[in-house]
Amino acid sequence: MGEAGPLIQGITVTEFREAEGTKDWPVLGDGAAAFFPTDSLATSARFVQAIAAIDGVANHAPDIDVRSDGVTVRLVSRGPEWFGMARRDVEVARHVSAAAEALGLAPERSVVQSLGPIIVAANDIDRVRPFWAALLRYVPRPDSPEEDLVDPHDRGPGIWFEHVEGLRLDRNRMHVSVWVPYEQAEARVGAALAAGGSVIYDAQAPAWWTLADPEGNEADVATTMTRD
């Protein structure tokens, strides 16, 4: 399983979504993800053991979050010139889904989401970026080192720098993005509006909606629709 060497055979979000065996895996901003509910930490651990036993999985190990009520598995390929979905992720997704089925575990798409990146607006990105790298101990993202910082241990959301002119006094200079499966996006936006929020930008929907809370703090609800 996996590809030897640094070459990554990237695929589009649509290609991944339409590939056989990936229906359990909505694609978010940091790769494809699946959540498998479990009845105990012991069951979660057995599932992780089953993933670790997949032949060749060490060549392209998924990111795994283990909890007593379930396991989240994320797939993304990272390299000097590519950060996104790849053909090898399709193969890993199939094997993980098969391991889950063998243990009687079924995915729950409605639970899947990801937070980030955190978007920082700056007049001079080169001047601002070192502060955030030092504060968080982040490193440049290999495929976009001048725009993005990432956690080298893949624990926290990335930082994306957006160039702006002037002081931008009318809007916040920082906001977060929340990625959800595309079929859940409109409901999530509706829930935020019902809770007192407002839409301040939706021209790119369903790729993203920019919302604001009652005091003007901003957040994006984002999907991978139309992002091939």
Give 205-228 pLDDT, tens digit per residue. Answer: 999 999 999 989 999 999 998 887
**Final residue of a structural domain among 79, 111, 143:** 111
Range of the domain at 132: 114-222
Strand, helix or coil for residue 138: coil
Residues 195 and 128 reside in one and the same domain? yes
Pairing state between β 63-67 and 70-75? antiparallel
pLDDT tens figures, 161-197:
998 887 766 677 889 999 999 999 999 999 999 999 9
Question: Structurally, how many domains does the chain consist of?
Answer: 2
CATH code where residue 101 lies = 3.30.1360.20
pTM of the model: 0.85
Query: What distance in Å separates the CA atoms of residue 115 and residue 177, rounded to the nearest whole number?
Result: 6
Q: Is 137 left (phi over 0), alpha (psi -120 to 50) or beta?
A: left
Q: Which of 102, 116, 90 is nearest to 34 (CA)?
A: 90
Same domain, 121 and 69: no
Q: What is the pLDDT of residue 4?
A: 39
* Domain's final residue, options 82, 111, 140: 111
DSSP secondary structure code for residue 29 in this structure: T
